[in-house]
Structures are given as C-alpha cells and as structure tokens.
Amino acid sequence: MIVVTSRSHFEKLIDFRMKEAKLLFENQCWDGAYYIAGYVVEFALKIRIIGQLMKSDSFPPRKVAENFYKHELTELRRLAELDTDMEKDPEVNSSWDIVKDWSEQTRYTVGKTEQDAEIFLEAIEKEVLPWIKARW
C-alpha cells in the first residue's frame, strides 16, 4: 500500500486514477469514470503546489496548508498560482470550464452520460493535465 506523502506518490496516483477512469469508461460506468478522473486534476494541482512550496524557504500560510487537504479544484488552482496564466490560454481555459466544478461529492451523484464522461476525460487528458504538468 502506498500512502500519499510525496510528489512521486501523487504522480503515481495520476497514472493509476487515469487508467481506472478509462477502464470504467470502457465498461460504460460513466459516473465512476467522471468521479475518478477528477482526482487526476486534483493531484496534478497538488504537485504544482508542492513545487511552489519547495521553492520557498518559509513556512506556508495556514490557509494554504488547510486548503491543500480539500478537493476544490478552483481553490487548488488558485493556490497553485495558475489562475492568471490559465485564463490567458483560451484552449485550456475552455477545458478548465468543463472540469472545474468537479468535487469529491460527485461520488454521491448518478446520471452522467457517456458524452458527459467522454468530454470530461478528454478535457483532462488532452488539455488540462498536460498544461498543468508543463508548469510543475
């Protein structure tokens, strides 16, 4: 069992969760694919935040530490200091609009369609994840 305590663990989880999301999608489990894929974005943003913190020699503000443990993608994007750059890139920004409202609460929802899940996965895999990774 891997307990997530480092950047490398988050990187492994990104790969695991994307594979799981694709398997769920291939097996027509649209809600599960959507739910699991959202964690990929969360983990990528957290890696970026870890990188930003490692560049500093000071203790992070309390708010950063508290919000790091949340699952709110828009807040994590802000903490990762990516808001301005992402908003200037219309291609990734439109994909961000697709994924930004994901939360861990989607585990309690049902009703995603194949199209919902496909659009969500594509936005992550083709735009949002590579864009964030390029800024680690």
Cα 97–123–22 angle (5° rounding)? 135
Tell me which amino acid residue 110 is: V
Instruction: Judge whether 2 lies within some domain.
Output: no
Spatial distance between the Cα atoms of 42 and 46, rounded to a whole number of angstroms = 6
Instruction: Judge whether 1 lies within some domain.
Output: no
Question: Over 60: is that where the pLDDT of 2 sits?
Answer: no
Helix (H) / strand (E) element for 57: namely none
Question: Over 80: is that where the pLDDT of 103 sits?
Answer: yes
Which one is predicted more confidently, 114 or 7? 114
Instruction: Judge whether 65 lies within some domain.
Output: yes
Instruction: Judge whether 84 lies within some domain.
Output: yes
Rg (CA), the chain: 15
Question: Over 70: is that where the pLDDT of 43 sits?
Answer: yes
- pLDDT digit string, tens, across residues 59-75: 667 776 676 778 899 99
Instruction: Judge whether 52 lies within some domain.
Output: yes
C-alpha distances out from residue 96 to 55, 106, 118, Å: 26, 17, 15
As for how many domains the chain has, the answer is 1
Residue 121's domain is classified under what CATH number? Answer: 1.20.120
Query: What number is the average pLDDT over the span 10-26?
Result: 96
Are 86 and 96 a contacting pair, CB within 8 Å? yes
The mean of the pLDDT values for the chain is 91
Query: What number is the average pLDDT over the span 114-131?
Result: 98
Q: What domain range includes position 41?
A: 7-133
